[in-house]
């Protein structure tokens, strides 16, 4: 870590003691979910990680520094609609640090920050992907191709093309693993009609994949795709219909770039009368729990820890 990268007291203690930890992105709080449900999600994710025996570590930017770990006051600020907060991918880190602004991290920034701190596992909701027809490809994909780590998610967000996203991940050399599933989870829906080549039955097998990646010195991430709990899943057809309507609205309003995903998620919540929001909260908590369970398995005398420079 450098002077531009600082950790909270809790995270510093956990790192010194070698305790299992799960890194968490903060864009989901600042841009992805409405207030106050974003704070409900934060509490649930932290609780799931702590209940499993691991330490939650939010990633964010403030005062010219990249931060790893946050007090609850910080989480509330990041999730406040009254506080201007930038959406920060890894590419944006130098600009936001130089400007000394408040920034909430995406998957790509979180994966990079966690790796620099020596933390293997992170949790999120859904990753970005390939938006057909727009040429928009999420920075998440390239970051996973170039930064080692383990990303636990519920597959690509339902607003992207699942097959094109999986093909791009394969092209980039990212190992995609189904967690207790054989088809690609599709965020709000249990699955897309896309078969996965690799899958595991639980945290022990997932940890074995991660250890093998470390021992082979492969400098890319393992993407663990964990389906939304069945009780909270939405019908795939209903999600697809709502997404098409929201994409049309985005095109009409000329919403593009990093504003597109937050816009589509808000639109989905409106068109589904809040059902997509409830599903999102459920999968975030579930992914945090699974990530913590994998982190615990890796902490149990795991050989071959990734080196950090």
**Upper half-sphere CA count for residue 140 (Cβ side, 13 Å):** 32
Phi, psi of 66 (to 5 degrees): -85, 130
CA distance between the termini of the chain:
8
Q: If you search the block for the tokens 């990079």, which residue do you land on?
A: 112
For 248, other C-beta atoms within 10 Å of its C-beta total 11
**Inter-residue contact 228 to 282 (CB < 8 Å):** yes
Two tokens, residue 187: 């965020």
DSSP state of 34: -
Tokens describing residue 3: 């002077």
Classify the C-alpha dihedral 30-184-286-6 as positive or negative: negative
Please tell me the distance from the alpha carbon of residue 11 to that of residue 102, in angstroms, as a whole number.
20
DSSP E strands, the chain: 5-7, 21-24, 55-62, 65-68, 86-88, 103-105, 121-123, 130-131, 136-137, 149-153, 175-179, 198-200, 221-225
Cα 73–chain centre separation:
22
Catalytic positions, written as ranges: 25, 157
């Amino acid at each position: 870590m450098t002077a531009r990268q600082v950790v909270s007291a809790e995270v510093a203690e956990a790192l010194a003691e070698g305790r299992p930890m799960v890194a968490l992105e903060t864009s989901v709080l600042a841009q992805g979910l409405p207030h106050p449900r974003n704070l409900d999600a934060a509490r649930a994710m932290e609780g799931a990680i702590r209940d499993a025996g691991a330490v939650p570590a939010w990633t964010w930017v403030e005062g010219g520094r990249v931060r790893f770990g946050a007090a609850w006051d910080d989480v509330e600020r990041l999730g406040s609609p009254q506080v201007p907060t930038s959406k920060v991918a890894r590419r944006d880190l130098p600009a936001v640090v130089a400007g000394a602004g408040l920034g909430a991290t995406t998957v790509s920034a979180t994966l990079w920050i966690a790796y620099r701190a020596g933390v293997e596992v992170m949790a999120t909701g859904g990753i970005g992907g390939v938006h057909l027809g727009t040429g928009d490809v999420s920075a998440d994909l390239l970051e996973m191709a170039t930064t080692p780590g383990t990303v636990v998610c519920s597959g690509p967000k339902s607003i992207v093309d699942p097959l094109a996203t999986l093909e791009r991940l394969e092209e980039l050399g990212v190992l995609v693993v189904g967690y207790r599933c054989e088809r690609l989870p599709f965020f709000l829906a249990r699955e897309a009609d896309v078969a996965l080549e690799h899958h595991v039955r639980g945290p022990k097998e997932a940890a074995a994949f991660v250890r093998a990646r470390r021992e082979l010195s492969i400098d890319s991430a393992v993407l663990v795709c964990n389906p939304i709990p069945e009780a909270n899943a939405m019908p795939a057809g209903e999600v697809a219909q709502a997404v098409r309507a929201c994409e049309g609205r985005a095109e009409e309003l000329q919403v593009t770039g990093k504003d597109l995903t937050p816009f589509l998620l808000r639109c989905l919540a409106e068109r589904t009368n809040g059902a997509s929001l409830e599903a999102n909260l459920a999968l975030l908590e579930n992914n945090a729990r699974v990530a913590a369970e994998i982190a615990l398995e890796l902490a149990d005398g795991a050989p071959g820890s990734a080196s950090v420079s």
